[in-house]
């Protein structure tokens, strides 16, 4: 089934992880620069954009073991992103709701990667 035929909510993980990374980049650009925010923003952008990059690598895996390893990295980066979103919400309490929405999306991605790993190990 092509993307054009799919429902409005896309289940294409490559696209979904890319859109998430793009959204985080845009969000990060709106956060004020400060001694606390600067390192948090940097870490958030790195981990959030790494999810999609590692998914692309998983998609091109050379073996089942390589695929499982790359999906595991996607999950680890997603969990790290959840952490940085929490820290940014503490540093910027006025942005807590936005952080919560991004946290929900990355949590869903984490659950998807967990499910993929579980199905591989059966």
* CATH classification of the domain holding 95: 1.20.1440.60
Q: Does the residue 81 lie in any domain?
A: yes
Q: Does the residue 8 lie in any domain?
A: no
Q: Does the residue 7 lie in any domain?
A: no
Q: Does the residue 3 lie in any domain?
A: no
Q: What are the C-alpha distances in Å from 98 to residues 23, 85, 121?
A: 11, 9, 35
What's the pTM value of the predicted model, to 2 decimals? 0.88
122 confidence band (pLDDT: 50, 70, 90): confident
Residue 121: the pLDDT is 87
Burial class (CB in 10 A: 0-12, 13-18, 19+), 72: middle
11 confidence band (pLDDT: 50, 70, 90): low
Q: How many domains, in total, are found in the chain?
A: 1
Q: Does the residue 102 lie in any domain?
A: yes
Q: Does the residue 25 lie in any domain?
A: yes
Q: Does the residue 26 lie in any domain?
A: yes
Rg over alpha carbons for the chain, rounded to the nearest Å, is: 15
Q: What are the C-alpha distances in Å from 29 to residues 22, 26, 44, 54?
A: 11, 5, 12, 23
Q: Tell me: the pLDDT tens digits for 22-80? A: 999 999 999 999 999 999 999 999 999 999 999 999 999 999 999 999 999 999 999 99
Q: Tell me: the pLDDT tens digits for 78-118? A: 999 999 999 999 999 999 999 999 999 999 999 999 999 99
Note down the domain range covering 33. 13-120
């Amino acid at each position: 089934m092509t993307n054009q035929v799919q429902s409005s909510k896309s289940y294409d993980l490559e696209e979904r992880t890319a859109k998430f990374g793009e959204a985080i980049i845009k969000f990060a650009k709106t956060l004020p620069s400060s001694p606390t925010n600067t390192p948090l923003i940097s870490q958030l952008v790195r981990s959030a954009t790494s999810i999609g990059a590692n998914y692309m690598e998983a998609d091109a895996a050379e073996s089942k073991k390589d695929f499982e390893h790359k999906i595991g990295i996607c999950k680890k980066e997603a969990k790290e992103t959840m952490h940085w979103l929490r820290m940014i919400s503490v540093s910027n309490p006025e942005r807590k709701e936005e952080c919560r929405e991004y946290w929900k999306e990355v949590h869903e991605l984490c659950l998807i990667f967990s499910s993929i790993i579980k199905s591989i190990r059966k």
